[in-house]
A and B are shown apart, each in its own frame.
Chain A
Amino acid sequence: MPLVYCGACSHAPGITARPERADTQTRQALYKALCKMGDDIRATGAEALIVVAAEHFANFFMNNMPAFAIGMADSYEGPIEEEAFLKIKRTKVPGNKALSRKLIEGVMQTVDVAYAEEWKFDHGIAVPLHFITPDYDLPIVPANINCQGPPLTPLKRAWAFGEALRTAADAQAERIALLATGGISHWPATPDSGKINAEWDREFLDRWARNDKDALLSYTDAEIYRDGGQGGFEIRTFVAAAAAGKGAKGTIEFSEPVPAFAVSATVARMAVISS
């Protein structure tokens, strides 16, 4: 069954941790767009959701940092963040170990992916799920690209990972959705938190919506760091989603710079299925 859904969205902790600090109208529009994304995923009849995230040291550290990892368990815990900080209750989220294993075996044909039979979610997965699957009733397959501890996964390999995920998902009987989460430009958890390069973000999203592989892969890490900050390294997840789109075009359903959330809050979808 071909991949039934492919999208990307922001995961900034401020979205749930500090909602009152954002412009009310913008916040409500973002929440609506995120909830609609959940409705759209359910409308495809998805039986599992691969979440390609840029995790922040919940599971992986510089003692053994994988370029790519996929979870392989029947359930996951999260978020690791204090409930009082993130304002998301810690919970158990369903997984699907057998499906994970099949996907990992598929991805391994072309990409050397690490697998993990335990995985703690952080805000990178927990914030989107809070809106998209608030009842935690859709099995999740967590996947990660190293966007945090340099040397980072090269963009062209993030593309290869997205292609491998698509091929592996298409080969399954189950209806599978894929969601990439990450920021575009941001300087998170620094004194510059809130800084956003909105022009750079627009240009990136334009390349993403056109699914212009060459343009998406043309950024160097030095350029990303200069123009998009250390948070900009997370474009790797968007790049993987574009690759999973297999040449389809994307739609930017919502994108607004929200300083209180420290990102251009974004909800975007790749049209993976021709109707």
Chain B
Amino acid sequence: MSLYQVQKLIYQLNRDPRTRERYARERDAVLAEYDLTDEERAALVQPDIGLLYVLGVNGQLLMHFAALHKIEWNDYLERMRHGLAKHGQVREGVYAATGYEGVEAHDARLKAEREKR
């Protein structure tokens, strides 16, 4: 497991336009500069957002990596849920899932509370 290396690559992609250009042009050469396992490399290439999440990639890095791949917000959340269902709980870091009723149900509850006030 080399989560640090996975996150470092995503960090560079998120903040540096030249790394993004290189990644689009010669992805394998960029990937070779990081010490990645086969599983990590495949997850980055696909990209398998659910697996990257379960591997422990910090959400603040992962959401931008998803946006870079034009993955819409709800789709991004859904892919993480799929990753949890397929691979189990987050293996490392502080971005574990804790359970949530969902924005729509939460909104409805808050609206009902506001109307009661």
| Chain A residues close to B by CB (< 8 Å) | 17-18, 21, 23, 56-59, 61-63, 80-82, 84-85, 120, 148-150, 187-196, 225, 229-230, 257, 259-260
Residues on B with beta carbons closer than 8 Å to the beta carbon of A189: 59-60, 62-63, 95
Inter-chain CA distance A126–B32, complex, in Å, is: 33
Please name the 4 residue pairs, one residue from A and one from B, whose CB atoms are nearest each other, closest first.
A189-B59, A56-B60, A194-B103, A192-B100
B110 lies within 8 A of chain A by Cβ: yes
Which A residue sits closest to B59, measured CB to CB? Answer: A189
The minimal Cβ–Cβ distance linking B13 to chain A, given in whole angstroms, is 11
Main secondary structure of the interface of B (DSSP, over half): helix
> Do residues B107 and A148 form an inter-chain contact, with CB atoms below 8 A?
no
Contact call B64/A191, Cβ cutoff below 8 A: no
By secondary structure, the A interface counts as loop
Q: Give Cα distance in the complex from A62 to B97, angstroms.
A: 22
**Size class of the contact patch on chain B:** 35 or more
- In the bound assembly, the distance between CA atoms of A190 and B94 in angstroms comes to 10
Pull 21 A–B residue pairs with CB atoms less than 8 Å apart, ordered by A. Answer: A18-B73, A21-B103, A23-B107, A23-B111, A57-B14, A57-B60, A57-B61, A58-B15, A61-B7, A82-B64, A84-B67, A149-B58, A188-B63, A189-B95, A191-B80, A191-B81, A193-B77, A194-B100, A229-B98, A257-B110, A259-B110
**Is the CB–CB distance between B98 and A80 below 8 Å?**
no
